[in-house]
A and B are shown apart, each in its own frame.
Chain A
Amino acid sequence: MELLLQTFIDGLLMGGLIIIIGVGFSLCFGVMHIVDFAVGEWVMLGAYTGWLMVRYFGHDAMFYLPVIFIIFSALGWVIYPVILQVVSGKRFNPAIMGLIFTFGLSITMKGGALTVWGYHIQSVPTWLTGKTLYLGPLTIPGLRVSGFFFGILVTLLLLAFLYKSRYGNVIRATAMDRDTANLLGADVRKVGAVVYSLYAGITAMSGALIGALFSVHSVMGAKYTMLAFFVVVLAGMGYVPGVIPAAIILGLLQSFVSVYIGGRFNLAALFLVMYGVLLITPKGIFRRGW
């Protein structure tokens, strides 16, 4: 019983962290119809930036999260026109071209990180590291709890922005029907740029958090690309509110498979579920995807 509860809590906390990656990714897909293969690489770059900042400027990693958000939003803003040119030019298959382009970006980022920082594994200490909450027989690491709440907070803020603000309405209209939104006066180019920079910023920020929680290394990206894809497939591509339950399902699945079946079946179970969901309901478990 204790094991069951502990597994449940571990999965829940892990899921909370994955929400942040999934939410930006899903938004990016919904508005721009781009599947960004570089999502894990943004996580990796964010983690390295956090590590570098702590190393050179001191202070706590948590303190730098907003800074990382701003840096990577700017980077996303700069890269966006290039991606737009790829997906909107006269190409033989824009969707595939966009996919391959971001895939090239991801290889470049990974190769660059490997060349500059090598295979060493780094860790980012914060004041929460090692602080643990004891709840009866259960142990809850403080850092994971803060990651969980941070993830929920960021997601809620983003949802509030999307559903309550005027510009959020414009973004959702563009996601629904790009051409009509454009006719009604929405600047879809700018909407795309805003969404892409939001996505890059949020993902990199979650990367810094992940770096503090686990570790920082150059090839960590692939794992988070996988997790982001899983979440988005389960939630339905482009359906942002579905990300929260999907990420929690993912966390629970991972921790239950690890504990009750065996750690080596972890990824196999993940891909099996992802493939199954794509075959049975390609629009996600809520059937609300794009």
Chain B
Amino acid sequence: MELQAANPKTLRSSLVWRLTVFILLLVICFIFPWIVSPLWLRIGTEVVMWAGLAQSFNIICGYTGRLDFGHGAFFGIGAYVTGMTMTLLGWPFGLGLLVSGIVSALLALAIGYPTLRLRGAYFAIATWSMGELIRQIATILDITGGAFGLQLPAVLNLPYFYYIMLLVTGLTYLTTYLLVEKARFGYKLLAIREDEDAAEMVGVNTASTKNWAFALSAFFPGVLGGIYAYWVTYIHPDSVLGGQITDVMCVMAFLGGIGSLWGPFLGAIVVQLIQRVLWVVWGEGTFYLVIIGVTICAVILFIPNGLVGLLEGTGLFSPRESVNELRKKIKW
């Protein structure tokens, strides 16, 4: 098979199409607080937060190919660091956020250095046990408020939190786009995902690349966790360090399409809206768990490439290029 030259006309029209949608999306995101009720603003803030969290999960799982079942721990650590610096040390919010991002990235480096040597299920179980360990430590320690949690100063300013979430989530997507989709660093990650030994053989320093990817993917949940803590003003180990945080991130990333830039965004919108609509319709129930579970199974069974995979060919998203797909295009 030979390399197929794309028609420049279709390329240009698809670029215009994509830019239009993108700008429309940006405008909607910015005027959102002025056109909706406070309830929907809260839901919108949640959607934006989850979109960022799912993307951070996507960096380590979708692009690097390591299933991190303890990723929610970084969110909780961010929430706790911000909460503790604000209440115990009296630091300003912005500084607390920066510190929580850095602390969770450093922790990811420290955890990642020994853990990233493990592969597949071993890595998943190790990170899962690490995440649970962190939750247990937060429950045991006195400084974190133990099982009773932390109370933060309350600020009632919904648009403020919406915009700051939007800013951080936007940065997450921008970083993913620039560092992972369009840079050598990202190609190294893809090589590791497809075949780690082969990547090592052709000269990729797999250990340090994986570590940096892990730290990058831990930085953003740390910051988002800090914003979340200040937003909801009360955190306890089960609410920010519980396994359900990782679960939901995972569901969103897989539903949207793992290893693609826009997949986690789509997944976050769909899952969070379904969850909230069910919550509004049926009240506080547990049936949404069944729906989430069935959704995961169905996605894995029928659309392993996620929603983005379904939309491929519409020109709206650039398709995910795995090495296998690249291999098909190039004559060996």
Cβ-defined contact, B129 with A274, below 8 A: yes
Question: Interface digits, B284-310 against A, CB 8 Å rule (1 contact, 0 not)?
Answer: 011111111111110011001100000
Q: Is B179 an interface residue (CB 8 A)?
A: no
Determine which of A82, A92, A97, A100 lies in contact with B322 in the assembled complex, contact meaning CB atoms within 8 Å: A92
Q: Is the CB of A107 within 8 A of B304?
A: no
By a CB distance below 8 angstroms, the chain B residues around A226 are 132
**A86-B300, A92-B322, A279-B114 known; A104+B293 contact, CB < 8 A:** yes
Given contacts A226-B132, A268-B140, contact A110 B289 (CB under 8 A): yes
| Contact A111–B287 (Cβ < 8 Å) | yes
A222 to B132, CA, bound (A): 11
Partner of B126, one of A105, A106, A279: A279
Q: Are A108 and B122 interface neighbours, CB within 8 A?
A: no
Tell me, rounded to whole Å, the shortest Cβ–Cβ distance linking A233 to chain B: 6
Chain B interface residue count, Cβ-Cβ cutoff 8 angstroms: 46
Say if the beta carbon of A272 comes within 8 Å of chain B: yes
State whether A96 touches B125 (Cβ < 8 A): no
Which residue, B137, B250, B297, has most C-beta atoms of chain A within 10 A?
B297
Q: Is B293 touching A109 in the complex (CB atoms < 8 A)?
A: yes
- Contacts A109-B293, A271-B136, A278-B129; A99 near B121 (Cβ below 8 A): yes
Partner of A271, one of B130, B291, B301, B305: B130
B290-A108 in contact (CB<8A): yes
Q: Decide if A104 touches B289 in the complex (CB within 8 Å).
A: no
Whether B286 pairs with A268 at a CB distance below 8 angstroms is: no
- Minimum CB–CB distance from A241 to chain B (whole Å) comes to 20
Flag whether A150 is at the interface (Cβ < 8 A).
no
CB-based contact A99/B67 at 8 Å: yes
Known: A101-B297, A104-B295. Is A92-B287 also a contact (CB below 8 A)? no
Any chain A CB within 8 A of the CB of B118? yes
Which of B115, B121, B259, B322 interacts with A95 by CB under 8 Å? B121
Query: Which of A29, A107, A110, A265 counts the most chain B CB atoms within 10 A?
Result: A107
Contact of A268 among B65, B133, B290 (CB under 8 A): B133
Q: Taking each of A103, A110, A222, A264, which has the highest tally of chain B beta carbons within 10 Å of its own beta carbon? A: A103
Is A51 in contact with chain B by the CB < 8 A criterion?
no
> Can you list, as one digit per residue, whether each of B237-262 has a CB less than 8 Å from chain A (1) or not (0)?
00000010001001000100011000
**A203–B61 alpha-carbon span in the complex (Å):** 30
Contact with B along A113-136 (1 / 0, CB 8 A): 011000000000000000000000
Asked whether B211 is an interface residue with its Cβ less than 8 Å from the other chain, the reply is: no
**Interface residue? A66 (CB, 8 A):** no
Interface contact B133-A100, CB-CB below 8 Å: no
Chain A residues within 8 Å of B250, by CB: 100, 103
Asked if A286 is at the interface of the complex by the 8 Å CB criterion, the answer is no
Cβ-defined contact, B115 with A114, below 8 A: no
Considering the complex, give the chain A residue whose CB is closest to the CB of B298. A104
| B124 contacts the other chain (CB 8 A) | yes
Q: Known A111-B286, A115-B285; judge A264-B139 contact (CB<8 A).
A: yes
**Which chain B residues numbered 85 to 124 have a C-beta less than 8 Å away from chain A?**
114-115, 118, 120-122, 124
Give the contacts of A47-77 with B (CB-CB under 8 A): none
Which of B114, B130, B304 is in CB contact (< 8 Å) with A91? B304
Q: How far is the CA of A99 from the CA of B67 in the complex (A)?
A: 9
Interchain residue pairs with CB less than 8 A apart (11): A35-B124, A99-B121, A101-B300, A108-B293, A109-B293, A115-B286, A115-B289, A222-B243, A265-B140, A275-B129, A282-B118
Residues of A within 8 A of B (CB): 29, 35, 82, 85-86, 89, 91-93, 95-97, 99-101, 103-112, 114-115, 222, 226, 229, 233, 237, 264-265, 267-268, 271-272, 274-275, 278-279, 282
Known: A92-B258, A100-B250. 9 other contacts (CB 8 A): A99-B121, A108-B289, A108-B293, A108-B294, A110-B293, A271-B129, A274-B129, A275-B129, A279-B118
